[in-house]
Structure formats: C-alpha cells, structure tokens
Chains A and B, each alone.
Chain A
C-alpha cells in the first residue's frame, strides 16, 4: 500500500473518531432527563449538594468548554473518578479489561475453527445437505437472541448434564496470582495445571455463546468466497495440471477465499464487543461488559461514558484495520 493511500484512509478515520467522541460527550448532555437528578434520585440530597455534584461533573460550564475539557482528558486517558469505586475510572476499567479481551479472543477462535472448515465443505458440496444445513444455521444464528442461547446452554450443559461450571472465570478454590490478568496465561505462569483446566472449563460456555452466531455468519462468507474462487480459471488450471484435490483446495483456493473472511472477522470482533455485555451478564463474567451494566444501575455515568467511548474507538479502529488488511491482502485493490 502506498503512503498516500494510507494517509487518505487516516484522513477518513480522524473525523469519525472525532464524531464518535462528540456523540459520547453529548449522550450525557443532550438526552432528556437531568443526570444529576437521576444520580441523586435515591438519596435525599439538598439543593447545595446537587449544585456541588453539578459543579464536580462540570455541568455548570458552557457546552463547548466542557467538550474541550472532556476531549483533552480522554486523550490523556483521564476519565475522572468513579465515585462508586472511589478510584480513577480508567483504573477500574483496566482491571476488568483482560477478562473481556480473553473471552472475546477465545470466542473468536471458536468462530474461526467452526466457520472455516464448514464454509469450505459447504462450497465444495454446493447445494448438498451440508450446504443447505449451513444456510439454515446462519439464518438461525441471526435470529437467535444471544442471551437466550446462553441460557439454553446453561440449562443443557450445566443444569442437566452437569458437565461445565457456570459463573465467574474460575472456581473459588483456586487462587492465582495476577500477572497479566489473562487467567489462561496466569494459571500457566503459576504452573497450576488444575487451575488452568478449571479456567478453560469456565470459558467454554460463554465463548461458545458469543462465538457460534459469529461462526454462522463467517461460514457464509467463507462459503461464498470459496465458491467464487473454485469457479475461477486458475483453480481450473491447477486441477488440469493434475494437482491433488486437497492441494488445489488448500494451497490455491482457500488462500484467496480467506481474504474477505479476514475482513469480516475484524469487523465481527467489534460486534463481539457489544455482545459481551449480554454474555457477561448471563454468565456472571467479571469483565468490562458486566461492569458497564452494573455501573448503569449504580448511576456511575463517568464510567459508562468512558466505556462506551472505549468500545466505539476500538470498533472504529477494528474496522479501519479490516480495511487496511483487505488492501494489503488483496493484490487487486493494491493500486
């Protein structure tokens, strides 16, 4: 990719990031209802206390000034103090972040491991039962409410068959020193194989709940890309050369069919972040999504605002990365 093209893309990225921060800023300001009133709804606060809170939140200053302060602080990673936790908002978020990232990554691996073989098989066996089953499954995948799917899995694997644990990231019996915050890594660093196995067992159901609907979508992308590639001249040529079916499929066809899959995967990772709030709530997973939902009920607005901004910026950057990857991987658009 040329430098000018990269610069062009960056120039498109910046206004979106700016716009996103404006909207997050306005969320608390322009929505009907006074945040201070909602925050103090449960307590018998005096007028002075309400005014003090309004001053603390900076709500008494002009809109433009408040936005500049908000933007400047956000750029420095300063999102104020979470009065619920009595600690900086960013510290609270950073503490919960590894749990969410770990869950998202494992869900992504589940999605990829399921989707790529299924998509390839469906493309090779076009219009056979497996192809039809895949289209039916992807229709189900988009029609299934995530929270309900999670509950069904709990009913089946935890309540009925008692195969897997539910709730939290690891059993209470285990104590793992926190190094990275990623339990799969921390348990290995501690050399505790049983704790590792327990952490994996806790991860399975949430990761499947989050990953399978994505897999359904991704498999469809792989299928259509693979079907297109299989019909192309160079695959025909490779077959005519007498290369084995396996070699043609894996070396020649799949490599190109994966280009759109990579893009969709990057975009879907962003959507997984949204799905996290649901899945973490269903499984009592102590990650960022759960923290946001708890903070809403604790009326902890600065934290909600910071988390929404973090989610959105990550989402925008992932889309940007998807765009770049597509350009880098696909020689046809590399102009």
Chain B
C-alpha cells in the first residue's frame, strides 16, 4: 500500500479495496479455490478422464479408487449407469458456474439500472419499481423459481430466466439506497447545477460510486444462486439429462444410498466447497470495501 500512497494522485477506492482483500488470507485462499473451479469448468473437455455421459453397465456403482473394488482410472467411482463420477463432476461445474454467472451478470445489470432510476428520478418511477420489488420479495425464492420452471419447462435458459426474474431485486434495493444517499451529495448537485442531464448524472457521476456495493452483493448472491440451481436440478427441474449437473447427480444417487454412498455424497461436497468459498470470499470483499469498518 505504501508504494501506492507515495504517488501523487489519491488511490482509487477500488484499488484500496483490492489491496485490503489480498491481505486477508482466508478471503484470498477462497478466491483461489473459486478460480480453481472456474479453470476446471473451462478445461472440462481437456481434463475429464472420460465422457460424462458414457455409460458402462459393467462398472455400475463401482466404488471410489481407495475402496474395495475401486480403480484409479475411475477415481471417484461410478454412478448407477456406470458413468465416471469425476468426469461428471468436472462437466457439472460448467452448469453451476455458467448459470450463476449469467444470472448474476444479468440481474446485477438490471438491478443497477432500476435502482439508479428509482433512487435518482424518484416520483412515479420510484413508486412503480419499489412496488414491483416489494411484490417479488413477497415470494419465497424457491417457490417462485419452482412455479416459473413448472410453467416454462426445464432447461438451461429457463433456469437463468426463472432466477433473474427475482434476483435483480436484491441489487436494485442496494443501489436505490446508495443512489438516494448520493443524490444529496455535493458532487451530484454540482453536476446538476452545471446542467448535466439525468442520464449523464446517473451513469457518469453516481454509477461509479455504487459499483463496490454492487460487487459485494453480486458475490454473496452468487453463492445463493448456485444453491438454487442445484436445488432445481435436484428436483428434476434443471438442466436435463444427459448434461450432468451437481444437483441432479445428488438426486441420481438417492436410489443407491444403501449400496453406494458415494454417488450422492461426492457432488454435494463439490457444491458445499464452491458455495463455502464464495461465501468466505464475499465476506472478505465486504470487509475490504466497506469503509465504515475501516473508519476506526
């Protein structure tokens, strides 16, 4: 930090936050784990030892390598159709991360725009957006998503759509609050005084100042969205077979709990590891970017 401080111009809040984040070992470690998951997902075709949908009934419920009857060519064992669990896990990371990234990106964009509009324009725009937000908050998340999936039918695009419909609300609430506060600040009034149009004030003056809360909200919501996707897939409403997803892998293993504990357990561990890392990293981000915590 001292190198940055010795420069003449002030350090940007973003840079300061990143420096603080990197100094937090738990958060940095979690970020590396997440990066690992992303790399695995990207490299799935290169690193998966087998095809994820390749069934071999002779290997039906073959145990993990370290157990009796296991083989190192199928390290985590096989499922009820004799498919390699590790390969399915690696390909399943794609679904989890892709859905989460798409939902969060779209929801953050919509939520930010709606929050800026509601907080800055006030009046009927605010009333309309806030009413919609209140109404969407009136649904338990999973019930809402299940209801939509029931009507739309399963599939990757529909999951993204079903989750985005509600997810934007969380960003919107935060951005609206931040915008209401920013509206009273001198720099916004100055911009207004020199005749900037509302759109310019919102995008050029206020938006850069609400980006760090948006980033924080986006990361901790991402953990939640991953669990939601896994839950929908578990219920059979997610991505359809033969595409592997972690939630449906857990569901597949339910029929073999007595004979083959690994089929359900292993994919659940992957969900837990990813979601826990994201939660830890988002805690680190919150600590790094929340100036109130560092005032003392």
Contact = CB atoms under 8 A, between A and B. Distances in A.
B276 interface: yes
Contacts of B234: 145, 147, 278, 281
A312 B149 CA distance: 16
B257 A151 contact: yes
Interface residues of A, number: 53
A142 B231 contact: no
A43 interface: no
A315 B141 CA distance: 11
Most chain A Cβ neighbours within 10 Å, of B139, B152, B250, B279: B139
A147 B141 CA distance: 16
Contact of B257 (A147, A155, A277, A316): A155
Contact of A312 (B131, B140, B231, B250): B140
Contacts of B254: 151, 282
Contact of B231 (A140, A147, A271, A297): A147
Given A148-B268, A148-B272, A297-B236, A277 B143 contact: yes
Contacts of A139: 276, 279-280, 283
A319 to B, nearest CB: 8
Interface string A29-47: 0011101001000000000
Contacts of A273: 140, 143
Interface string A87-100: 00000000000000
Given A19-B134, A139-B280, A147 B144 contact: no
A197 interface: no
Interface in A111-148: 139-140, 142-148
Contacts of A311: 139-140, 143
Interface stretch (B33-41, B107-115, B197-205, B258-266): B258-266
Contacts, number: 144
A106 B230 CA distance: 26
B contact patch SS? helix
Interface residues of B, number: 47
Interface in A279-300: 281-282, 292-293, 295-297
A257 B236 CA distance: 42
A270 B236 contact: no
Interface in B241-272: 247, 250-251, 253-254, 257-258, 261, 264-265, 268, 271-272
Given A16-B134, A23-B135, A312-B139, A145 B235 contact: no
A301 B150 contact: yes
Contacts of A242: none
Given A27-B151, A151-B257, A155-B261, A145 B143 contact: no
B151 A301 contact: yes
7 contacts: A23-B136, A145-B234, A145-B268, A270-B140, A274-B142, A295-B150, A304-B147
Interface of A: 12, 15-17, 19-20, 22-24, 27-28, 31-33, 35, 38, 139-140, 142-148, 151-152, 154-155, 159, 270-271, 273-275, 277-278, 281-282, 292-293, 295-297, 301, 304-305, 308, 311-312, 315-316, 319
